[in-house]
Structure 1
Amino acid sequence: MNTPIGYEPLTPHASPLTATAKIFVAGHRGLVGSAVERRLRAEGYTNLVLRTRKELDLLDYAAVAAFFERERPEVVIDAAARVGGIHANNTYPADFIRDNLFVQNNLIDNAWRFGARKLVFLGSSCIYPKHAPQPMKEEHLLTGPLEPTNEWYAIAKIAGIKMCQAYRKQHGFDAISLMPTNLYGPGDNFNLESSHVLPALIRKFHEAKLAGASAVTVWGTGTPRREFLHVDDMAAATVFLAANYSDSEIVNVGVGEDVSIRELAELVRDAVGFTGELEFDTTKPDGTPRKLLDVTRLHGLGWKASIPLAEGIRSTYDWFLQHQADFRT
């Protein structure tokens, strides 16, 4: 098929994100997808198409094609992905590369084929080389080896970026790619086996506080530096860029500031109210030494993050307390 059904190329100044546009948020029950849904509704977008995993298996090309043929969404926001921390990436590398490739391929191809006017692909800062210059600029992509502990996920996301660029180049499809830094907030994964560092620390400090423990053990040396963006800020940036950005170049989405893992642990300890000590297990991997995004392009487009890290951690802990019955495992 050379021409997608119902596709009309955008004029340079036309945004498909209108008040009545039919918007499909893939992965709307996840950390990012749920925040995007909240943001869209808050901004008055009500014509949303949402499907749970049981209702639509994004790994199934035929099912995804049938869905797009039936619903014909005008805007697609791809917030669906298999995600996890160092342990999960190291343990299930085949699952991470396979599932993410299948999901993004199915969404991008069928969004184009069935006339979507915009697709927003959400990648990750882990696409950049392990020893990329800091802060990492968009042009640092594919300039060096990846971090081995998450290369499977990173390669899948790089493939998604290139697929968006290829469909734009060959078909004129308005697909944009956003690269968020480390995200956290309401709806996060607090399972200690598969979570990222910030929610894992929240749960560990909370359980240590309840147990009256004298110390909490943190993986690694505590020296690596990480940047953290509240998921509600990420959602705001996603909606803003969906409406205002159309180009093949990727856009970093972050705050432009980072903290050490030790500093992060201290912030979480304060938010939780744990009074014990920190201990660092140096036999565990640190991962990439530093991951800080250059957000010059994002700021130049007119958007900046607004939620300070300490405030975001406190509100995330409050959310955790309200939902902790869901985190028994």
Structure 2
Amino acid sequence: MVVTGGGGFIGAYLVKRLVRDGWDVAVVDTMVRGHASRFAEVADDVQLFTCDVRDEQALEQAFAGADVVMHLAAINGTENFYKRPELVLDVGLRGALAVVNAGRTADVPDLVVASTAEVYQTPAVVPTPETVSLTLPDSLNPRYSYGGSKIVSELIAFNYAREHYNRVQVFRPHNVYGPDMGWKHVIPQFITRAVLGKDRKLTGPTPFEIQGDGSETRAFCYVDDIVEGILTMYSSGGHREIYHIGNDEEVSVLDLARRVGEALNLELDIQSGQPAVGGTPRRCPDISKMRGLGYRPKVDLNEGLRRTIDWYVEHSGDTVTNELL
């Protein structure tokens, strides 16, 4: 089994689970954004290829003898979508081509590709099934660099791989979170800002600005449940199929901020701010297709936030945190 992007957030959790389940695991990651420390506890059982996912020749060597490639490598994080769209697109598109072609050359039988809920942007149906049309609302907005790259990645997976793989699957994860997920996503940013407010020991409620009025909704899924979903899909899912992996517990951004404050025993004075251009009012997956395979998310939001907050509080002095603040 090869995991591209195995030093990333979801990738590292997947690598650790695969090793525990007895797989021989190889990781492809430049470690520019990923960190080998994320899977340090199983590092002795992992073969690491520190090559670029766009380097087809290097991938051929990494993929040799593999039963399946799980392609998770990407430039993620909303902040990156706005600030580094060229890199997001380059890694997304050229990486998908290199992975599919290298897998063909190396005679890898199975291919699993990570997509995203961003392919819908503002879905017409919520909860959203896999059959809803994919949308790119505005090619001028760099926000859509990630969603656009994933739409093309799905096309590459299903068409370039059409006659060369025994099984091709695409999964669309929805709002994954958990310990060590990085610092450029909404939950770690909420936690970091709340911890900073708590440390300042202000009298009265802590001012806490959010984007928009907080009415936007998301359905957050704890990372262990995502990994369980990926493995359930791979073991029980079909060829040339797409699956939503996530949780269908929909919450507002306002409620999320309140829960973060409550978990830290901190009273927040939540204040509306400017909404993000290209933001999505509602996002929640219909996971009926995965439920049909036996998948059930187990970690509710309150428990997942507690685990995540504990990690970020413990690491609040990290250099990367100080850079963020």
Separation in 2, partners of 1:42, 1:283: 42
Question: For residues 75-114 of structure 1, what are the structure 2 equivalents within 5 Å?
Answer: 75-85=68-78, 87-114=79-106
Cross-structure match for 1:4: none
Cross-structure match for 2:198: 209
Stretches of structure 2 that go unaligned for 5 or more consecutive residues are 32-49
Separation in 2, partners of 1:188, 1:175: 27
Cross-structure match for 2:250: 258
The alignment partner of 1:44 has SS state of: coil
The alignment partner of 2:91 has SS state of: helix
1:58 aligns with 2:35: no
Task: Identify which of 28, 32, 36 aligns with 2:14.
Answer: 36
For residues 208-257 of structure 1, the C-alpha deviation after alignment (integer angstroms, 9 at most, x for no partner) is 11122431211222111111011111111111212221221311111122
Contact 1:24/1:48 (8 A) holds in 2: yes
Cross-structure match for 1:166: 159
Separation in 1, partners of 2:228, 2:260: 24
Q: Shift in Å at residue 136 of structure 1?
A: 1.2
Q: TM-score, normalised by structure 2?
A: 0.86
Contact 2:104/2:161 (8 A) holds in 1: no
Separation in 1, partners of 2:86, 2:28: 25
Question: For residues 1-329 of structure 1, what are the structure 2 equivalents within 5 Å?
Answer: 23-45=1-23, 47-53=24-30, 55-68=50-63, 71-85=64-78, 87-142=79-134, 145=137, 148=141, 150-190=143-183, 195-213=184-202, 214-282=206-274, 284-285=276-277, 287-326=279-318, 327-329=321-323
For residues 12-60 of structure 1, the C-alpha deviation after alignment (integer angstroms, 9 at most, x for no partner) is xxxxxxxxxxx11111111100110122123232x11124416212122
Separation in 2, partners of 1:124, 1:266: 26
Aligned length: 299
Structure 1 runs of 4+ aligned residues shifted over 6 Å read: none
Change (3 A) 1:59 1:124: same
Q: Shift in Å at residue 170 of structure 1?
A: 3.0
Q: TM-score, normalised by structure 1?
A: 0.85
Q: Shift in Å at residue 167 of structure 1?
A: 3.6
Contact 1:129/1:140 (8 A) holds in 2: no
Q: Shift in Å at residue 207 of structure 1?
A: 1.1
Separation in 2, partners of 1:211, 1:38: 37
Q: Which moved more, 1:283-292 or 1:119-128?
A: 283-292
Which amino acid counterpart does residue 142 of structure 1 have in structure 2? L
Which amino acid counterpart does residue 236 of structure 2 have in structure 1? N
Separation in 1, partners of 2:274, 2:293: 41
Which amino acid counterpart does residue 197 of structure 1 have in structure 2? V
Change (3 A) 1:258 1:102: same
Question: Bigger relative contact order, structure 1 or 2, given CA contacts below 8 A and separation 6+?
Answer: 1
Over the matched positions of the two proteins, sequence identity in percent amounts to 25
Question: What value does the CA root-mean-square deviation take over the aligned residues?
Answer: 2.0
Separation in 1, partners of 2:136, 2:5: 31
Separation in 1, partners of 2:257, 2:187: 8
Contact 1:219/1:286 (8 A) holds in 2: no
Contact 1:219/1:285 (8 A) holds in 2: no
The alignment partner of 1:82 has SS state of: coil
The alignment partner of 1:250 has SS state of: strand
Contact 1:221/1:286 (8 A) holds in 2: no
